[in-house]
A and B are shown apart, each in its own frame.
Chain A
Amino acid sequence: MTSPTLTKKQTSLSSVSFGRKAKDRTVQALVYLAFLLALIPLVSVLWTVVKNGAGRFDGVFFGHSMNGVAGKDAGGGAYHAILGTLEQVLITTAIAVPIAVLTAVYLVEYGAGGRLARVISFFVDVMTGIPSIVAGLFVLALWLLALGFSFSGFAGALALTILMIPTVVRATEEMLKLVPNDLREASYALGVPRWRTICFVVLPTALPGIITGIMLAVARVMGETAPLLLTIFVTKAINTNPFAEPQASLPTFIWDQAADPNQNSIDRAWAGALVLILIIMLLNLAARFVARRFKATGR
């Protein structure tokens, strides 16, 4: 800073200069504008889905499948699809979360900077970029065609697992990295072995963040349509068994109904979309509640 500016600053000690005020206002306006712009599509989507979906958001919709219901008929429901989606995502979560969390633990706690960790990290990045339909094709080629299994909810869950693992690995990794090294050292200094330190100090400290990451991944996976079309196929009937026979799911239900030109089908598609959004929202709320209960207090 040169001395002329210094003297200038001294004279304007009491008031903020006009230029700075103007800049402050401009940036403030831009920030609000960006916020509103981001909000428009969000609100619009919600509003449209609620408006169009509310019509068929009734008991029949939640209690019935599409078995024997043609596109032009009123009635019919998404019971089979809701059931299918819940089962598939549950299986997906059960397979993907342990693999992903353990991978992240390896990457942060054990591998740190080693060659194997770098290779794994690279492939996790690659997996993040896999288009979802490729995951579906992979399961179709390996599980259904090469190994000879039939279309099933489980095959769909396998495809979703491929999509879920990298997201959860990345989220968990970031959270584990945020755990201060002080805590690990404090635990080691008490004569606690490494694995116990990870289980009882590191993971609990990172837990709220990990749960949030898992929920985001679940939400993402729940709306996937393409890989499911190739793996669970399509059915109008209720199939409670995820391990045999084609199963329905909400995204494929929406896709199927929306493709039908009859208004009754289109209404069902909207209601399906509304239910999907609500399920994801409920899961998010539940996860927040769980995360808060475990939340690190203080600090």
Chain B
Amino acid sequence: MAKRIEVSGLHAYYGGVHAIEDISMTVEPRSVTAFIGPSGCGKSTFLRTLNRMHEVIPGARVQGKVMLDDEDLYASSVDPVAVRRVVGMVFQRPNPFPTMSIYDNVAAGLKLNGVRRKSRLDEIVEESLQGANLWNEVKDRLTKPGAGLSGGQQQRLCIARAIAVQPQVLLMDEPCSALDPISTLAIEDLIAKLKSQYTIVIVTHNMQQAARVSDRTAFFNIAGTGQPGRLIEIDDTSKIFTNPEQKATEDYITGRFG
């Protein structure tokens, strides 16, 4: 299931603004890779280039190569919609569809892509909610609106929705930044569980979180306002947090700036 991502020479732009510059890295399958760095350094932008969500924004474009195993996501023959089915995404703010029930939220990706058989949908909805550690809390109220759940439950609902389409890679853009510590713990446990099946990339502002959940950590930085973001270094999480190669990484982690 899980696939390796290999990025080489990637640049991203918003109109005339050069947002990230020349990024190359490898994301290992069945592992958690965390992106850390100060605000505006391009972590989220880079994350969004990995499932072609970047180009949804008018005027945004990408240069470079993103290989998912042996397929180039940016080859001209590739359909971005198909890419997003393989590379799922969870957003910073929980965003369940407000018009849909809990069940329909989880089934949305499948239903909107033409899966109609009720038994199959039931099965996948239960599996996904189990997978997102939410099943026990919502199994008696699947027909209730998804927006009626608490923030942490909504975020797990969004994770269930993302894994219901059975992606190979799961991108998470600060999934816990709007949640309380208990819900954060629930999500972190979930990440640890999901990594046996998926390639997970998580953007986080919380360095303890990066240290707790990730196997590898990438540090991004910008030289100054208006400059494009760059990848400073990527290494095993334990190495980044104890003995980073770069001075900037050490300064950031020890809280000397940012």
Inter-subunit contact B98/A192 (CB<8 Å) = no
For chain A, the bracket of interface size reads: 20 to 34
Q: Does B85 contact A (CB under 8 A)?
A: yes
Interface members, chain B 14-53 (any A CB < 8 Å) = 51, 53
Inter-subunit contact B147/A192 (CB<8 Å) = no
A259-299 CB mask vs B (1 if < 8 Å, else 0) is 00000000000000000000000000000000000101111
A180, A184, A191: the one within 8 Å of B85 (CB): A191
Residues of A with C-beta under 8 A to B96: 186
A187 smallest CB distance to B (angstroms): 7
Inter-subunit contact B53/A187 (CB<8 Å) = no
Inter-subunit contact B108/A190 (CB<8 Å) = yes
B82, B148, B158: the one within 8 Å of A298 (CB): B148
Docked complex Cα distance between A207 and B145 (Å): 16
Known: A182-B93, A200-B112, A296-B99. 5 other contacts (CB 8 A): A186-B91, A186-B96, A188-B81, A190-B84, A191-B109
Residues of B with C-beta under 8 A to A297: 98-99, 145, 147-148
4 closest Cβ pairs, A-B complex: A191-B85, A298-B147, A190-B109, A297-B145
Chain A residues with a Cβ under 8 A of chain B:
112-113, 180, 182-193, 196-197, 200-201, 204-205, 207, 294, 296-299
A60 smallest CB distance to B (angstroms): 47
Residues of B with C-beta under 8 A to A187: 97, 108, 112
**7 A-B contact pairs sorted by A residue (CB < 8 Å):** A187-B108, A188-B81, A189-B51, A189-B84, A204-B99, A298-B98, A299-B98
Chain B residues with a Cβ under 8 A of chain A:
51, 53, 56, 58, 81-86, 88-89, 91, 93, 95-99, 108-109, 111-113, 145-148, 158, 161-162, 165
B81, B112, B147, B161: the one within 8 Å of A299 (CB): B147
Query: Number of A-B pairs whose CB atoms are under 8 Å?
Result: 90
Select from chain A the residue with minimum beta-carbon distance to B114: A196
Docked complex Cα distance between A189 and B89 (Å): 6
Docked complex Cα distance between A88 and B165 (Å): 47
Inter-subunit contact A196/B53 (CB<8 Å) = no
Residues of B with C-beta under 8 A to A185: 53, 56, 91, 95
Decide yes or no: A182 and B91 within 8 Å by CB, A187-B112, A193-B81, A299-B98 being known contacts: yes
Docked complex Cα distance between A186 and B147 (Å): 14
Inter-subunit contact A189/B88 (CB<8 Å) = yes
Decide yes or no: A191 and B165 within 8 Å by CB, A182-B91, A296-B147, A297-B148 being known contacts: yes
Inter-subunit contact B95/A180 (CB<8 Å) = yes
Decide yes or no: A191 and B82 within 8 Å by CB, A113-B58, A297-B145, A298-B147 being known contacts: yes
Select from chain A the residue with minimum beta-carbon distance to B147: A298
Residues of B with C-beta under 8 A to A180: 95
Docked complex Cα distance between A168 and B145 (Å): 29
Decide yes or no: A188 and B56 within 8 Å by CB, A182-B95, A297-B145, A298-B98 being known contacts: yes
Residues of A with C-beta under 8 A to B109: 190-192
Select from chain A the residue with minimum beta-carbon distance to B167: A191
Docked complex Cα distance between A193 and B82 (Å): 9
A188, A193, A205, A294: the one within 8 Å of B97 (CB): A205
Decide yes or no: A294 and B85 within 8 Å by CB, A190-B112, A192-B112, A200-B112 being known contacts: no
Residues of B with C-beta under 8 A to A112: 58
Residues of A with C-beta under 8 A to B158: 186
Find the residue from B88, B91, B99, B146 having the highest chain A CB count within 10 A.
B99
B42 smallest CB distance to A (angstroms): 18
B82, B95, B99: the one within 8 Å of A186 (CB): B95
Decide yes or no: A183 and B84 within 8 Å by CB, A189-B162, A192-B112, A196-B112 being known contacts: no
Residues of A with C-beta under 8 A to B83: 191
Residues of A with C-beta under 8 A to B51: 189
Docked complex Cα distance between A215 and B168 (Å): 46
Select from chain A the residue with minimum beta-carbon distance to B164: A190
Inter-subunit contact B98/A183 (CB<8 Å) = yes
B109 smallest CB distance to A (angstroms): 4
